[in-house]
Every structure is written in structure tokens, then in C-alpha cells.
Structure 1
Amino acid sequence: MYIAQAFKYSHSFWRYLVIPILFFGLMILNYVFIEWMELDVNQLMQDEIARKGSNRVLLENLIAFVIFLAGLFLWVKYVHHQPIKALTTSRKKVDWSRFWFAFMLVAVFNIGLTLLDYYSNPEDFTINFQLEPFLYLVLISVILIPIQTSFEEYFFRGYLMQGIGILARNRWIPLVLTSVIFGGLHYFNPEVGKLGDIIMVHYIGTGFMLGIMTLMDEGLELALGFHAANNLITALLVTADWTAFQTHSIFKDISEPSAGWDVFIPVLVIYPIFLYIMARKYKWTNWKEKLFGKVERPVAVQAE
């Protein structure tokens, strides 16, 4: 129903091409420019942080997502003639209790895991806390990180999920494509250069988990809360010199990063536990149909 409700609005194929072409085109141009100029992105980031400070660099990087999200919402409203609620959920109104449930679940888990890691391996961390810059970090993060994560969810699990779904007329193709593309875009993160290609298992696996949440729950609320909490708590709690978010967080990870088979633990163990908790709370049923079933045009809706 979440995907099929896009049939109720202007859904001709060309309308779903423009925004992805602009967004992915921008990403490709950025990559080509970096390769052509032989730029060291990590070094550039370190130089910018040294010159401006990490809070200002974070602010400048996140401001773009305000423009991206506003542009997506305006396109959906005025070109698809679709209310944002219909891009958010199949329910009569957005269920914010679902957002906050997912947010608190991930926040508690991430805080607990970080503290456990800190007390188990204190030599891997230093205390990075400075009150004034941390307060500025909180202000920037609380306002802008949820906008950044919301754009990614509305674009991948919302706009592309619905657009590909009504074109393919099934659920599994949009689930696979949006998850792989979402994970693939993280290939340019500095973590990949430091940890190796195996970390892509984590990014693509996260895309699949968020997509499964969206399809099973027939809305974005859980995915929005999950993604916002994950990025926000990470930015406030732990930073490192090799991560995409380098912040005035409470802790700084000074260990030598490595990735092996342990990257499969979140995908194969932790994410299924999250899905199990949500499935029990929201009484998800009919998994096969919701993840692999057809997307049917509502009988009362006419083709454009």
C-alpha cells in the first residue's frame, strides 16, 4: 500500500527521472572532479578542519542537505501533486510514536555499546570533551543531522522506492535497487579507504534493513527515527581522524582501524534483532507478500 499509493498522484515516468538524474549527476561530477584534480579528500578535510574548526566544516557539509530535502519536497508537491504525508506513510497521519520508538531503540543501543567498548578497551579512546565546542556541536547536530538523514530516507526509501515500485510493479526490485545504490554511495566515505571494501557489506546491509522496515511497516517513520538516531548519537559520542563525521564529540577513537569478518555481525545478528523487536511491537505479518509481492494499481485510479 505504501508504494501503490503513489499511483493516486502524477506518476508518469519522466517525473521520476529528473531528481535522480540531478542528484546522481552531481555525485558523479564531484567524483570526476576529485579524480581529475587528483585530490586527497582526507587531507583536504583535515586542512579545512585546521583552518575553520570541525563545527564549521560539519555545518557547511550539512547545509547542502537542507537544500536537497527542500528541493525534493517541492518537486513531489508541485510536479507529482503528492502530499508529503503520502511520501512518508500509508497511515492516515504520520505516526511520530514510531519515529521516537526507533530513535530511542538505536540511541540506547549505540550509547550502551560505546560505553561498553570504552570501559573494555580504554586504551583505544581519549576524552575529547570540551564544553563550549560540544554545545555548538549539539546545536548543529540536533538541527541538521536529522535533516541529512531525512533526505536520505525520503529520497531512497521514499521517492525511489515508490517510483521504482510502480514501474517494476513489485516490491523486491525497489528494495534491492535502493539498498544497493544507498550502500554504494557510501563507497566515497573516508571509512572505506581506511577499512577496505569489506565495509560495504555494512552500508548495503543497512540499506536493506531500512528498506525492510519501510516495506513491512508501510511507511518511513521507523527508518527516519533509526537513521537519525544512528548518525546523531555517533556524531555526539565518538569521532576519529578517518571518519566522515569529525566532530568535537565526547570520545575520540585513537585505535588503528581494521575490518574483517566482524563487519557481518551487525548485518547478520544485530539488525535481525532490531527487526524482530519491531515486528513483535507492530505485529508485522505476511512477510513474503510485503517484501516480494506485486504492486497493484488501485482499481479506482486511472492511468495518466
Structure 2
Amino acid sequence: MFIAQAFRYSHSFWRYIVFPVLFFGLMALNYVFIEVMDLDVAQIMQEEIARKGSNRVLLENLIAFVIFLAGLFLWVRYVHDQPIKALTTSRKKVDWSRFWFAFILVASFNTVITLIDYFANPQDFALNFQLEPFLYLLVISVILIPIQTSFEEYFFRGYLMQGLGLLARNKWIPLILTSVVFGGLHYFNPEVQKLGDIIMIYYIGTGFMLGIMTLMDEGLELALGFHAANNLITALLVTADWTAFQTNSVFKDISEPSVGWDMLIPIFVIYPLFLFIMARKYKWTNWKEKLFGKVEKPVEIQET
């Protein structure tokens, strides 16, 4: 129903082409510029942080997502004539309790795991906490990181999921495509250069996790909470010189980064555990139909 409800609004093919072409075109131009100019993005980031400070650099990077999210909302509202609620959920109103459940679940888990890692491997961390810079970071993060993650959820698990679902008339194609493209965009993150291509398993797997949550729960609320908590807690708790978010966080990871098959633990152990908890709490059933079933027009607007 989450996908199919988009049939009720203006959903001609061209309407679902323009905004993604503009967004992905902008990403492609940015990549081509970096390649043609042979820029070292990591070095440029370090120079910018040294000159402006990490809080200002973070602020400047996140501001773009305010524009992206506002643009997406305006496009959906005035080109598709679709209320934002219909891009958010199939329920009569947005269920913010779902958002907060996922947020608290993920925030608590990430905080506990980080503290366990810190106490178990103190040689891998340096205490990075400074009150004033951290307070600025807190304000910037609480306001702008949820906007960044909300844009990604509304764009991939909302807009593209609905548009591709209407085009393919099934659910598995939008699930696969949005997950792979979502993960693929992270290929340009500095973590990939540092850790290698294997980390793409984590990014694409996270896309599948968020997509499954959206389809099973018939709305974005859980995915919005999950994504916001994951990025927010990461920005506030731990930074490193090779991550996309370099912040005035509490701790700094000073270990030599490496990645192996332990990268699969979140995908095959932790994420299924989260899905199990959510499935029990929200009584998810009929997994095959919700993940692989057909997308059909609502009865009231079916073609005669």
C-alpha cells in the first residue's frame, strides 16, 4: 500500500525522471570534476578543516541537504500533487512513535557498542572531548544530520521506491535498485578509499535493511529513525581522520583502519536482529507478498 498509494496522485513517467536526473547529474558532475582535476578529496578536506575548523566544514557540507530536501518536498507537493504524508507513510497520519522507537533502539545499541570497544581497546582511541566545540557540534548535528538522513530516506525509500514500484508494478525491483544505488553513492566516501571496496557490502546491505523496513512497515518512520540515530551518534561519539564525518566528537579513533569478514557481522547478525525486534513489536506478517508482491492500483482508481 505504501507504494501503490502514489497512484492516487499525478504519477506520469516524466514526473519521476526530472528530479532524479538533476540529483544524479549533479553527483556525476562532481565526480567528473574531481577526476579531471585530479583532486585529492581527503587532502582538501584536511586543509579545509585546518583552515575553518571541523564544525564549520560539517555545517557547510550539511547545508546542501536542506536545499535537496526542500526541493524534493516542493517537487512532490506541486508537480505530483502529492501530500508529504503520502510520501512518508500509508497510515492515516505519521506515526512518530515508530520513528522514536527505531531512533532509541539504534542510538542505544551504537552507544553501548562504542563504549565496549573503547574500554576493551583503549589503545585504539584518544579522548577528543572539548566542551565548547562539542556543544557547537551538538547543535549542528541535532538540527542538520536528521535533515541529511531524511533527504536520503525520502529520496531513496520514498520517492524512488514509489516511482520504480509504479513503473515495475512489483516491489522487489525497487527494493533492489534503491538499495544498490544508495550503497553505490557511498563509493565516493573516504572510508572506501581507506578500507577498500569490501566496505560496499556494508553500505548496500544497509540500503537493503532500510528498504525491507519500509516495505514491511508500509512507511518511512522506522527507516527515518534508524538512519538519523546511526549518523547522529556516529558524529557525536567517534571521529577519525579518514571518515566522511570528521567532527569534534567525544572520541577519536587512532587505530590503523582495516576491514575483513567482520564487516559482515552487521549485515548478517545485527541487522537481522533489528528486523526481528521490529517484526515482533509491529507484528509484521506476509513477508513474501510485502517484499516481492505486485503493485496494483487501489480499487477506487483501477482502470475499467
Give the TM-score, by structure 1 length: 0.99
In the TM superposition, 1:75-224 aligns within 5 A as 75-224=75-224
* Cα distance in 1, alignment partners of residues 298 and 221 from structure 2: 23
Q: How far apart, in 2, do the equivalents of 1:263 and 1:295 lie?
A: 34
Partner of 2:43: 43
Residues 138-168 of structure 1: CA deviation (Å, up to 9, x unaligned): 0000000000000000000000000000100
Counterpart in 2 of 1:248? 248
Q: SS of 2:23's equivalent?
A: helix
2: CA distance between counterparts of 1:202 and 1:26?
25
Aligned mates of 1:299, 1:223 — CA distance in 2: 28
2:302 and 2:208 map into 1 onto residues whose CA distance is 32
Structure 1 distance, partners of 2:259, 2:10, is: 45
Distance 2:238 2:30 in 1: 28
AA of the residue aligned to 2:6: A
Distance in 2 (CA, whole Å) between partners of 1:227 and 1:48 is 27
Alpha-carbon deviations, 1:2-35, whole Å to 9, x = none?
0000000000000000010000000000000000
1:301 is displaced (CA, Å) by: 1.6
1:202-254 C-alpha deviation (Å, 9 max, x unpaired): 00000000000000000000000000000000000000000000000000000
CA RMSD in angstroms, aligned pairs only: 0.6
The alignment covers a number of residue pairs equal to 303
3-state SS of paired residue (1:126): strand
Distance 2:127 2:18 in 1: 46
* CA deviation vs aligned residue, 1:50-79 (integer Å, no higher than 9, x gap): 000000000000000000000000000000
Letter in 2 for 1:26: L
Give 4+ residue runs of structure 1 displaced > 6 Å after superposition: none
Matched, 1:274 2:255: no
Q: Give, in angstroms, the shift of residue 299 of structure 1.
A: 2.4
Please give the secondary structure, in 2, of the residue aligned with 1:99.
helix
Cα separation, 1, equivalents of 2:26 and 2:236: 29
Give the residue type in structure 2 aligned to 1:278.
M
| TM-score normalised by L of structure 2 | 0.99
| Whole-angstrom distance in 1 between the partners of 2:301 and 2:24 | 31
1:53 alignment counterpart: 53
Whichever residue aligns with residue 68 of structure 2, its letter is: F
The farther-off stretch of 291-300 and 177-186 is 291-300
Output the CA distance in 1 between the equivalents of 2:115 and 2:299: 53
AA aligned opposite 1:235: A
Mapped to 1, the partners of 2:117 and 2:301 lie a distance apart of 54
How far did 1:174 drift? 0.2
SS for the counterpart of 1:252 is strand
* 5+ residue gaps, structure 2: none
Residue of structure 1 equivalent to 2:231: 231
Structure-1 separation of matches of 2:300 and 2:118: 57
Letter in 1 for 2:207: G
1:293 paired with 2:293, answer yes
> Gapped runs of 5+ residues in structure 1?
none
Shift in Å, 1:293? 0.1
Q: Distance in 2 between matches of 1:109 and 1:178?
A: 26
Q: Could you tell me which residue of structure 1 aligns to residue 10 of structure 2?
A: 10
Kindly provide the amino acid, as one letter, of the partner of residue 261 in structure 1.
W
Structure 2 distance, partners of 1:31, 1:4, is 35
Question: Residue 261 in 1 paired to residue 233 in 2?
Answer: no
Distance 1:266 1:40 in 2: 30
Q: Percent identity?
A: 84
Q: Matches of 1:169 and 1:95 in 2, distance apart?
A: 27
Measure, in 1, the Cα distance between the counterparts of 2:299 and 2:206.
35
Task: Return the offset for 1:300.
Answer: 1.6
In the alignment, the residues of structure 2 paired with residue 256 and residue 89 of structure 1 have an alpha-carbon distance, to the nearest angstrom, of 42
Paired amino acid for 1:185? L
Query: Counterpart amino acid of 2:182?
Result: F
The alpha-carbon deviation at position 302 of structure 1 amounts to 5.6
CA distance in 1, matches of 2:51, 2:224: 33
- Partner Cα separation in structure 2 for residue 178 and residue 10 of structure 1: 21
| Rounded Cα–Cα distance in structure 2 between residues aligned with 1:120 and 1:299 | 57
